Amino acid sequence: MFSPNEDFTELPSNSLQLLLVPVYLGYIAENITGDSDKRPTYLKAARAYYRSYLERLLAYNVIAFKLPWLDDEGQIIEEKETTELPKIDHSTRRQQKIQRIETQNKLEEALAKLKKERERNDDEATLVRF
């Protein structure tokens, strides 16, 4: 149905919804519940579906950024299977948490100000009506 040498603008509009099939499959694989022993297999399958979707978007020039698992020629870079988490310095982790908390507090303050402003505007609009 789709040819890799086509551009996004050349794709038939009635078949654009079929570009989303890997996303739907990834979503389904990601949300399978049941046997917890098979969960990593389902998650790997979901990851493969999502990657397939992004690679297809890149091939049709819908996105223009480099995908981290592809080299410059578009070939898949082999990944090492690792269950080890990256080592992060404790002070760096602490600083990241502090920054996240500060950002969250600023956002909460801004939200509170917006809510007060909206209430004030609602009150003024009510007064103008009467």
Whether residues 27 and 71 share a domain: the answer is yes
The answer to whether residue 105 scores a pLDDT higher than 70 is yes
Whether residues 17 and 66 share a domain: the answer is yes
Any idea what DSSP says for residue 51?
Answer: H
> Domain count of the chain?
2
What was the pLDDT predicted at 130?
Answer: 56
Among 16, 87, 79, which Cα is nearest to 48's? 79
Which CATH number do you get for residue 5? 1.25.40.540
Structure tokens at 110: 């801004």
Whether residues 12 and 73 share a domain: the answer is yes
Whether residues 69 and 16 share a domain: the answer is yes
What was the pLDDT predicted at 107?
Answer: 92
Report pTM: 0.55
Residues 69-101: tens digit of each pLDDT: 877 666 777 766 555 556 778 888 899 899 999
Whether residues 74 and 10 share a domain: the answer is yes
Whether residues 23 and 62 share a domain: the answer is yes
Residue where a domain terminates, one of 57, 78, 99: 78
Question: By residue range, what is the domain housing residue 24?
Answer: 1-78
Whether residues 13 and 74 share a domain: the answer is yes
Total number of residues shown for the chain:
130
